[in-house]
Structure 1
Amino acid sequence: MPTSREALPALPVPDLPADEDALVRQDAPPRAGGDHDGELFPADLDLTGVDAHDSRLLGCVVRSTRADGFRLAGARLVDCRVAGLGATEALWRNGTWRDTIVQGCRVGALDLSGASWNRVLVQGGRVDFANLRATELVDVTFDGVDLRDLDLGAARLVRVRFVDCRIGHLDVTGARLQAVDLSGSELTEGLDGVGDLRGAVVSSGQLLQLGPLFAEHLGVRVRD
């Protein structure tokens, strides 16, 4: 658990209407480089293969369940909710997301490399491979997410919390961590970059699990 209230990430409070159906319903997907304000992209809108790179979404809701290959590279999302997306591949690198909630998305390969997230909540869902290399995550919470392979190499994380998550293989090589709480989640398939875990919080059980990696990193031999 975090050692102080200040270590807890701030949660997003998107500026959205209580009734999201009051937003302007769209029959066409977001456009590359387009400006979208107060729009609803409904569940029945097919976003398969849509290229919306460098788009700007303000106060929008994206509910589409068909989003394989949906490209949001370089996009800016503020006060948004993204829910229920299903994709084999999602290319969302180098984007800027703030005060946004991501719920129940199922993605095979997610590319968020180089992205900047501030006050983002990810709830539920599953990602088989999450490429978060060189990202900057500040005040981000992952809650109940199944992360089969999580790559945080060279990323900067400040007040990031993993709650009731299942994390398979974790790579933090070259990462810079500050108040990153892993203690409430399950680490199942190993870790790379154990020497870069400085700034992380782990449980006593996780410490025992990681003990051999710490010993190897320090050049300590264990003999019974």
Structure 2
Amino acid sequence: MSAPRRAAGGRGLPALPQPDVARLQPAAGPPASGALHDGLLFDGVDLTGVDAGDGRFLGCVLRSAAADGLRLAGARLVDCRLSGLEAGEAPWAGSSWQEVVLGDCRVGAWGLAGAQWTRVAVERVRVDFADLRGTTFTDVTFRGCELRDVDASAARWTRVRFEDCRTGHLEVTGARLQDVDLTDCELEAVSGVGDLRGAVVSQVQLARLAPLLAAHLGVRVAG
């Protein structure tokens, strides 16, 4: 039985329920592949190389742990919080997240291709490369994040917001965006600019994107 939740909110996302840590049961060991984990606290458990693929996490907290190579491919997370995780590689492709908060994590290669997120908040996360190809995000907020290289090719994003974020390179070729707010995200480079339809950008961003938009449309600008 999942433990009771308490709400936590943010400017860009409605209040998300979170596990009440005081009521969680300390986990006896790392999570397992294909297993059900309900109302468990993984606090400081070494998650290096752990295979928790296709597992289910209900009302769980994973925090302050080495997590390099932690496999969450195909896993389902509901009403969970992940915080303080450090991982060179995070193979989490095809995972499903609902009512999840991910915060204060450092990831080298974040493999989330094909993941489905609904009502997710990502806070103060640093990522070198984020593979978000083919992801389906609905009501997702990135807050205070540094995402150096993001491949969101063929993604389907609805009501996704970036607050106080910085992105070195954003690839959106083939993406379908609806109400995606990029106005508070510092963008250094964008590929697939023709597929930004449905995104909201600032005037400063528009000025920087103008040459790319002109090239995409085949417009020549006279000097």
TM interval, shorter chain, is over 0.9
Structure 2: unaligned runs, 5 residues or longer: 1-10
Aligned to 1:192: 191
Deviation at 1:14, TM superposition (A): 2.3
Aligned to 2:210: 211
Cα deviations by residue, 1:7-28 (Å, 9 ceiling, x for unpaired): x9643512422xx143111131
Task: Give the secondary structure class of the aligned counterpart of 1:216.
Answer: helix
Aligned to 1:104: 104
> Counterpart of 1:140 in structure 2: which amino acid?
V
Aligned to 2:36: 35
Cα deviations by residue, 1:49-72 (Å, 9 ceiling, x for unpaired): 000000000000000420000000
Q: CA–CA distance in 1 between the matches of 2:28 and 2:40?
A: 10
> Counterpart of 1:63 in structure 2: which amino acid?
R
Aligned to 1:81: 81
CA spacing shift, 1:118–1:12, aligned 2, 3 Å: farther
Query: Alignment partner for residue 16 of structure 2, among 13, 18, 29?
Result: 13
% identical equivalent positions = 58
Task: Give yes or no for contact 2:13–2:121 (8 Å, CA) kept in 1.
Answer: no
Task: Give yes or no for contact 2:127–2:147 (8 Å, CA) kept in 1.
Answer: yes
1:110-189 alignment runs, 5 A limit: 110-188=110-188
Q: CA–CA distance in 2 between the matches of 1:76 and 1:11?
A: 21
> Counterpart of 1:109 in structure 2: which amino acid?
A
Cα deviations by residue, 1:171-204 (Å, 9 ceiling, x for unpaired): 000000000000011002x111000000000000
Root mean square deviation, CA, Å? 1.2
Task: Give the secondary structure class of the aligned counterpart of 1:154.
Answer: coil
Q: CA–CA distance in 2 between the matches of 1:161 and 1:120?
A: 11
Aligned to 1:26: 27
Task: Give the secondary structure class of the aligned counterpart of 1:211.
Answer: helix
Task: Give the secondary structure class of the aligned counterpart of 2:14.
Answer: coil
Range that drifts further, 166-175 or 8-17: 8-17
Q: CA–CA distance in 1 between the matches of 2:15 and 2:96?
A: 14
CA spacing shift, 1:81–1:63, aligned 2, 3 Å: same
> Counterpart of 2:209 in structure 1: which amino acid?
L
Structure whose residues are more often strand by fraction: 2
Q: CA–CA distance in 2 between the matches of 1:11 and 1:85?
A: 24
> Counterpart of 1:108 in structure 2: which amino acid?
G
Q: CA–CA distance in 1 between the matches of 2:68 and 2:162?
A: 26
Task: Give yes or no for contact 2:152–2:170 (8 Å, CA) kept in 1.
Answer: yes
Task: Give the secondary structure class of the aligned counterpart of 1:14.
Answer: strand
Cα deviations by residue, 1:138-192 (Å, 9 ceiling, x for unpaired): 000000100000111000000000010001100000000000000011002x111
Task: Give the secondary structure class of the aligned counterpart of 1:73.
Answer: coil
Task: Give yes or no for contact 1:48–1:68 (8 Å, CA) kept in 2.
Answer: yes
Aligned to 1:201: 200
Task: Give yes or no for contact 1:14–1:59 (8 Å, CA) kept in 2.
Answer: no
